[in-house]
Structure 1
Amino acid sequence: MSLQERDKKHLWHPLKQHQTHPNSLGIVKAKGCILTDEKGNEYIDAISSWYTCMFGHCNEFITSCVYKQMQTLDQIMFSDFTHEPAVKLSEELIKILPENQNRIFFNDNGSTAVEAGIKMALQYYFNKGEKRNTFIALENGFHGDTFGAMSVSGLSVYNGPFEDFLMDIERIPVPNGTNNKEIIHQLEKIIAENNIAGFIYEPLVQGAAGMQIHKADDLNEILKFCSENKILTIADEVMTGFGKTGNHFASNEIATKPDIICLSKALTAGLIPMAITSCTEEIYSRFLSNDMAKGFFHCHTYSANPIACSAAIAAIELLQTDEIQKNIKQISNAHKAFEARIKNHSKVNATRSKGVILAIDLNTNSSRYGTLRDQLLQFFMDRGVFLRPLGNTIYIQPPYIITDLELQKVYKTIEAALEIV
């Protein structure tokens, strides 16, 4: 019996309606940019398996570092112990994070990194004797699936059944250079009428919204306003972090730095789940007290797992190599050339790119999560390319090690799709 048939007996997949989409493709091998299914068919992983495997699947340098770590220390509770991989990772990460970041808190995944960031902001004020219970978030943002992360997310397709149970959120439009003044006026009204704990945002690129891109200077106006009004800022870099936008972190491109940063996905190069919430020394200091209750009582069993830390250390080392930095620039330039080639196509409504991220909005009337998305997904898979459209938006976020031949195949497959939509 095939993996696909065995899968149907017991498994429940995420982001999937099993009634209408009962099948899940069985993958038996992944190496570099190539996924291989149980029938031997190969697919170029053009979205790095949800933006995680940025150095390719089963990267030998990373797996060798992890194997070495597995021989000495596998797991240890982090509340009472520390270890070399955690300490080393904190040292290496602080070197490349925005200069105001100084403390590293470990989590399990992107949602829990955001959850911890939200709780840090709430308790920061609680420990100061201030009750603040409302967050500001951008429209159409996505920050994860736990309750705090859902609350600050703005895409109802994910949150619909739970909206009556979520936190108080005030939403503002994404700044675009023409609405900045209106947003600032809106913010002034919001902080006058609410006890604001923080502002959370995806810096430069809103992923689940269709890779929508905004400019650093426009976002900086909002961050500067928040800073001047003592509102903590939380940058969700779960998707954008570790080179995706062309910089190590999108926040490095913005003048006003966040107080808290959420990291996951490419943190461990897709090898092992782990996440981090970093913050400033000022935030950390508010949790220091002789009163035990003022400590941060938030914990994951696998916090700072040594094996996951070793994968992250190796990934950070690779990220900073001349080869990977050169590859990032080459992919970015290739995206721009491809944009120029297709932007005037009758089926293309808009294109945009930032670093290794490229998005193409199709000029159709189909619903965002309608049949077109499913048709496109199958079209791409039939031609050996794994792309997972966000409704009418096709996006690419390839591994940094993708070859030019592989990337050109991705582009040509998209061009072929434009002729049939």
Structure 2
Amino acid sequence: MTGAAGSPIWHPFTQHALQPQMIPITRGEGAYLHAADGRPIIDAIASWWVVTHGHCHPPIVRAIQQQAERLDQVIFAGYTHEPAEQVAAGLLDLTPPGLAHVFFSDSGATSVEVALKMALGYFRNIGQLRTRIVVMQHSYHGDTIGAMSVGARGVFNAAYEPLLFDVAVVPFPAEGREQATLDALAAICERDRPAAFIVEPLVLGAGGMLMYPAVVLREMHRICRAHGVLFIADEVMTGWGRTGTLFACEQAEITPDIACYAKGLTGGAMPLAVTLCSEAIFAAHLSADRGRTFFHSSSYTANPIACAAASANLALWRQPETRARAAAVAAMQQCCLERFRYDERFSDLRRCGTITALDLHAEKPGYLADVGPKLHGIFRDSHVLLRPLGHTIYVMPPYCVTSEDLDTVYAAIDEAVDRVL
């Protein structure tokens, strides 16, 4: 069953001329979504990378229900509430040491906007003229203006180019070319005295699930420290166990000056994001001069119901079995990926934690590769939710997924690729 072609809804990242009908989903449970016609669909990409423990995970659902009966919403300027206080304290307990303050927002892109404003506000308030931002090639940080500005320029944002600010770009540290990235970053830091370097740690998501080692992340952090450049870690996707540790920065043993977390923050149940920063950045905005206030807000900042979901999620991550489950999924993913190790249809098989990716040999590589929509359509018919990034197929499931589920997913990939080739 598909949604009515005449629906007034404009769906995200959807070309309605090519995909006029949507699949109505009536409920979710565990690793599955259930369509209105009764079909179970394996959610192999965690519904755009947000669902961690599974759909409608009981402890999170209970927390949402209980909070909705007590306090649904309150202005967060001049007021606070227990769920937000619990989330802030819990985050500072779990995140890399040295992060000291928590600013709430409602999406990954917004958390990045907050991070950029924090960095620029910091240097303005301490009397240094530093405004340039350094980014990594192929990066993606969201679809608001600031987030697009620090992401890769191309099909995602070509129409909005007049609105975007200029940035400095370092090359992606591809295998064998890591030093070129480090040299470029050092040169820009010395020449331009930028305010901040923003990066997706270990895995570049929408850029094609590109992966690089923790030693490179550690060295980029060292270079920034040596030049007084703020290091912003966009862990919107890489956080919450995706890369094999709770947060990707742990593998490099670094603490960013500013960190962005969203997606799995509530286990995927509610929209909520946070931007964490060091004491120095907060202190630079702390003043009797109201002009040094950090001017950012949204109407639903730290919504109590969303915070209750996040608090329940943090409680789950304090349990050893949660991390053990994520580790088990990582191991299962590696086993499943091996079936294509010597398959000439694919190249660059890769895994980081619970994320796997492989590139299909295609005449037109990249996000607009014609093979992407073809594969997506076949996966839909196979009752598997996979959404290739052009010629790149990736699997990023909820942690409740079973080995049988993953066998089905990888069998669907095998069959779909056979059909399109």
1:256 equivalent in structure 2:
254
The offset of 1:298, in angstroms, is: 0.3
1:194-233 correspondence to structure 2 within 5 Å: 194-233=192-231
1:44 equivalent in structure 2:
42
8 A Cα contact 1:141 1:155, kept in partner:
no
8 A Cα contact 1:175 1:219, kept in partner:
no
2:326 equivalent in structure 1:
328
2:415 equivalent in structure 1:
416
Partner SS, residue 168 of structure 1:
coil
The offset of 1:35, in angstroms, is: 1.1
8 A Cα contact 1:74 1:307, kept in partner:
yes
2:124 equivalent in structure 1:
126
Q: Structure 1 pair 322/181, CA: closer, same or farther in 2 (3 Å)?
A: closer
**Is 1:292 the equivalent of 2:285?**
no
Q: Structure 1 pair 43/205, CA: closer, same or farther in 2 (3 Å)?
A: same
Which residue identity is paired with 1:120? M
What CA distance in whole angstroms lies between the structure 1 residues aligned with 2:265 and 2:321? 18
The offset of 1:377, in angstroms, is: 0.9
Deviates more, 1:221-230 or 1:375-384: 375-384
Which residue identity is paired with 1:12? W
The offset of 1:371, in angstroms, is: 2.6
What CA distance in whole angstroms lies between the structure 1 residues aligned with 2:410 and 2:14? 27
**Is 1:54 the equivalent of 2:49?**
no
8 A Cα contact 1:134 1:167, kept in partner:
no
Instruction: Give CA-to-partner distance per residue, 1:35-55, whole Å, 9 cap, x none.
Output: 111211121001110111111
1:217-366 correspondence to structure 2 within 5 Å: 217-366=215-364
**Is 1:150 the equivalent of 2:148?**
yes
Instruction: Give CA-to-partner distance per residue, 1:145-198, whole Å, 9 cap, x none.
Output: 111100000141211111232112000012246334433432343234424110
What CA distance in whole angstroms lies between the structure 2 residues aligned with 1:3 and 1:140? 34
8 A Cα contact 1:343 1:350, kept in partner:
no
Instruction: Give CA-to-partner distance per residue, 1:47-102, whole Å, 9 cap, x none.
Output: 11011111111111110111111111111100110111011111111111011111
1:56-95 correspondence to structure 2 within 5 Å: 56-95=54-93
Q: Structure 1 pair 155/42, CA: closer, same or farther in 2 (3 Å)?
A: farther
The offset of 1:341, in angstroms, is: 2.0
The offset of 1:319, in angstroms, is: 2.5
The offset of 1:417, in angstroms, is: 2.4
Q: Structure 1 pair 20/220, CA: closer, same or farther in 2 (3 Å)?
A: same
Q: TM-score, normalised by structure 1?
A: 0.96
What CA distance in whole angstroms lies between the structure 1 residues aligned with 2:13 and 2:174? 30
**Is 1:14 the equivalent of 2:12?**
yes
- The unaligned stretches of length 5 or more in structure 1 are none
What CA distance in whole angstroms lies between the structure 1 residues aligned with 2:182 and 2:242? 29
The offset of 1:109, in angstroms, is: 0.3
**Is 1:392 the equivalent of 2:400?**
no
Partner SS, residue 85 of structure 1:
helix
Percent of aligned pairs with the same amino acid: 37
Partner SS, residue 9 of structure 1:
coil
**Is 1:381 the equivalent of 2:384?**
no
Which residue identity is paired with 1:383? S
The offset of 1:393, in angstroms, is: 0.8
Instruction: Give CA-to-partner distance per residue, 1:182-232, whole Å, 9 cap, x none.
Output: 334323432344241100000000000111110010121111001110000
Q: Structure 1 pair 405/3, CA: closer, same or farther in 2 (3 Å)?
A: closer
What CA distance in whole angstroms lies between the structure 1 residues aligned with 2:405 and 2:175? 36
What CA distance in whole angstroms lies between the structure 1 residues aligned with 2:183 and 2:385? 44
1:398-409 correspondence to structure 2 within 5 Å: 398-409=397-408
Instruction: Give CA-to-partner distance per residue, 1:107-138, whole Å, 9 cap, x none.
Output: 11000000000000001001112222210000
Partner SS, residue 86 of structure 2:
helix
What CA distance in whole angstroms lies between the structure 2 residues aligned with 1:176 and 1:10? 43
Q: Structure 1 pair 315/292, CA: closer, same or farther in 2 (3 Å)?
A: same
1:372 equivalent in structure 2:
371
8 A Cα contact 1:137 1:201, kept in partner:
yes
What CA distance in whole angstroms lies between the structure 1 residues aligned with 2:181 and 2:209? 21
Partner SS, residue 6 of structure 2:
helix
Number of paired residues? 419
What CA distance in whole angstroms lies between the structure 1 residues aligned with 2:173 and 2:348? 18
8 A Cα contact 1:176 1:218, kept in partner:
no
What CA distance in whole angstroms lies between the structure 2 residues aligned with 1:183 and 1:373? 29
What CA distance in whole angstroms lies between the structure 2 residues aligned with 1:105 and 1:335? 34
8 A Cα contact 1:66 1:311, kept in partner:
yes
What CA distance in whole angstroms lies between the structure 2 residues aligned with 1:373 and 1:168? 31
Q: Structure 1 pair 135/397, CA: closer, same or farther in 2 (3 Å)?
A: same
Which residue identity is paired with 1:18? H
The offset of 1:315, in angstroms, is: 1.1
- The unaligned stretches of length 5 or more in structure 2 are none
Partner SS, residue 326 of structure 2:
helix
What CA distance in whole angstroms lies between the structure 2 residues aligned with 1:381 and 1:50? 15
Q: Structure 1 pair 218/188, CA: closer, same or farther in 2 (3 Å)?
A: closer
RMSD (CA atoms) = 1.5
Deviates more, 1:292-301 or 1:338-347: 338-347
Which residue identity is paired with 1:335? Q
Deviates more, 1:13-22 or 1:289-298: 13-22
Q: TM-score, normalised by structure 2?
A: 0.96
What CA distance in whole angstroms lies between the structure 2 residues aligned with 1:309 and 1:49? 20
Which residue identity is paired with 1:350? D
